[in-house]
Amino acid sequence: MNVLLFMIAILVNTNQAVTYRPVVLMHGILATADDMYELGGWLNSSFPGIYVVSIEIGNGYDDSLLLPMNKQVELFCANILADRHLSEGFNMLGISQGSLIVRAAVERCSLPVYNLITMVGIHQGLFGDALFKLLPVRFWELISKYAYEDFVQNTISVAGFWRDPFQLEKYIDGSHFLPDINNERKIRNETYRTNMLKLNAFVMVYSDKDEILTPPQSGWFLGYASESLVPETWNQSRQYTEDLIGMQTLREQGKLHMFTCHTRHEDTEHAPNKEFFFQNILSFFNNTLPIESNLNQNEHAIEIDPPSIPVHNGTEECFLFLRFRINILLIILPDTSRDNEGADHDSYPLRNNGRGSHEANSQNYAAETNGTHGIPIDEFEQIILDQHNKYRRQMCANDLEEDDDLHEKAHKRAHTLANGQDIQLSDDFSENVYILDTADPSKITGEIIVKAWYDEYHQYNVKNESSAIHFSQLVWKNCKKLGVGHAYTGHTLYIVAFYKPPGNIRGQFDINVGCNSSNEQNPAKR
């Protein structure tokens, strides 16, 4: 867990008895703490000396999508509770997915939050294909069809707040996150409601020009009505009629503040929304800690210069490279080998009955060995390498070489994914990931895995650099070394390939993908 400090300027003159409440910021999905820098700057300039911290969970960009929501909230709370500057109370703002993280943190972790501000929030979930504009293509079907399967709930954050109005019972039973923090189940957690009612103010903003969230009114706790694509109204929403987490009470107490902005989703924390922010939201940060708290903080004061705009490893190139780090290919296949004959495997391809004995027919197959669900390592790695080089030659790229250190790192990555966890990835290498739900990994060869990545070539468009990131990574010319890792658990196979130097770097696709000579066969230009 990392944090981005915009500024720490602790008062050292004990005659000055005013300290603005600190501020915690949480970014949205497929973003990083750096993306909150502009908004943080607005607060710094408006309230001199204010402590503003932007929280990062894991590596930020990737983990905002690939860590389940419950895990993200857990890590978020741990970081808040470890920061001594926040112990006396603070204001907190969350953007988009971050709105759910900050609210869940208030409910579950009993944080001393004074004003809670959420912008373009997803409080009543989302449903529809607009969000998919942000996600890799391979995630679309997984979320839209299998969101409430445990495998997807434990793998993709969006599944935790995917609210299908045509399957509300399945949503309440199968979703691991949103029904809980919204108190929608039969057994309610009264602590959630109690903690929400402790707020001085709860501010909610939705945008009438939001092109990503559907419905955008979810930012006001108004999702789609049952069996409908029409947003709920006040007298339909259980949050208000049943006061599940205190929304009705907060409204009656005058603590609920609702605004509508008029910017695109992606501009919420940036310049196009600055005027709205200053006119409507800024005042909720204009409050101070009690005098005793000010003096206590001053006793332990330190002063840190405001940082410049941070980028990874000091280079814009490395920062932009992270934008293409989610090279994960998820394959969902009906499994007719499992028990329950007569069950509809096509409808529920992710379910499993816990069976676990699978034997390889050949050494290049994914197999269970020594009870670890591993892969015969030497032979399998060689086949993956050979298949890479076969396709790379077709694309006029040099052969890759094996790298033992990358092998070890790739194995660690695969096993952490299999355990529902994640690791901080280095900017020194990039990755492709293949995830397959199957009860018989012996049918999955190295040839199949690499071909699945390569077959994206027909989607490749150099003008849209993220159009086929598995393919482009596989044939990236500047990559020299390859490491392969694997894991198999609970009917799910994980294959990880690490590449060094890294590929998929923005602005370099034209020189690294495909043959330069026009008379050479080049699938990437078809």
Range scoring the smallest mean pLDDT among 132-146, 384-398, 484-498: 132-146
Per-residue 3-state assignment (H helix, E strand, C coil) for 352-374: CCCCCCCCCCCCCECCCCCCCCC
Residue 295 in this model has a pLDDT that exceeds 60: no
State pLDDT tens for residues 184-193: 999 999 999 9
End-to-end CA distance of the chain: 43
Range scoring the smallest mean pLDDT among 154-158, 266-270, 431-435: 431-435
Residue 149 in this model has a pLDDT that exceeds 60: yes
Stretch 174-180: mean pLDDT, rounded? 97
Query: Which residue, 363, 355, 399, 368, is CA-closest to 381?
Result: 363
The pLDDT of residue 17: 46
Residue 373 annotated in active site:
no
The pLDDT of residue 522: 54
**Are 491 and 477 in contact, with CB atoms under 8 Å apart?**
no
**Are 163 and 148 in contact, with CB atoms under 8 Å apart?**
no
Looking at the DSSP bridge assignments, the partners of residue 20 are 288
Q: Which of 96, 157, 175, 218 is catalytic?
A: 96
Sign, CA torsion 221/227/233/237: negative
- Helix axis angle, 446-454 relative to 377-394, nearest 10°? 30
Sign, CA torsion 269/272/274/276: negative
- Give the full edge-to-edge strand order of the sheet including 2-9: 256-261, 201-207, 113-119, 90-95, 23-26, 52-56, 2-9, 303-304
State pLDDT tens for residues 383-417: 999 999 999 999 999 999 999 999 999 988 888 88
Residue 482 in this model has a pLDDT that exceeds 50: yes
- Strand, coil or helix: 265: helix
State pLDDT tens for residues 351-369: 222 222 222 222 233 333 3
For the record, the structure tokens of 411 come out as: 């194995």
Residue 343 in this model has a pLDDT that exceeds 90: no
Residue 362 annotated in active site:
no
Q: Which of 27, 123, 257, 265 is catalytic?
A: 265
The pLDDT of residue 523: 53
State pLDDT tens for residues 152-164: 999 999 999 999 9
The pLDDT of residue 329: 58
Query: Which residue, 425, 388, 393, is CA-closest to 406?
Result: 425
**Average pLDDT over the chain, rounded to whole?**
79
How far apart (Å, rounded) are the C-alpha atoms in residues 188 and 180? 8
Number of other residues whose CB lies within 10 A of the CB of residue 7: 18
The pLDDT of residue 61: 86
Q: What pLDDT band is residue 515 in, cutting at 50, 70 and 90? A: confident
Q: Which of 210, 403, 437, 440 is catalytic?
A: 210
Per-residue 3-state assignment (H helix, E strand, C coil) for 192-215: HHHHHHCCCEEEEEEECCCCCCCC
Give the total residue count for the chain. 526
Instruction: Map out the domains of the chain with their CATH numbers.
Output: 23-289 (3.40.50.1820), 374-516 (3.40.33.10)
Residue 309 in this model has a pLDDT that exceeds 70: no
Residue 263 in this model has a pLDDT that exceeds 50: yes
For the record, the structure tokens of 294 come out as: 């000010």
Q: What pLDDT band is residue 220 in, cutting at 50, 70 and 90? A: very high
Number of other residues whose CB lies within 10 A of the CB of residue 331: 16
Beta strand spans in 186-341 (E): 201-207, 256-261, 303-304, 328-332
What's 461's DSSP letter?
Answer: B
**φ and ψ of 312, to 5 deg:** -70, 125
pTM of the complete model: 0.61
**Are 303 and 8 in contact, with CB atoms under 8 Å apart?**
yes
**Are 56 and 3 in contact, with CB atoms under 8 Å apart?**
yes
Residue 299 in this model has a pLDDT that exceeds 70: no
**φ and ψ of 233, to 5 deg:** -110, 175
Residue 85 annotated in active site:
no
**Are 174 and 154 in contact, with CB atoms under 8 Å apart?**
no
Which positions ≥6 away from 474 have C-beta within 8 Å?
388, 391, 392, 432, 450, 453, 454
The pLDDT of residue 494: 84
Q: What pLDDT band is residue 235 in, cutting at 50, 70 and 90? A: confident
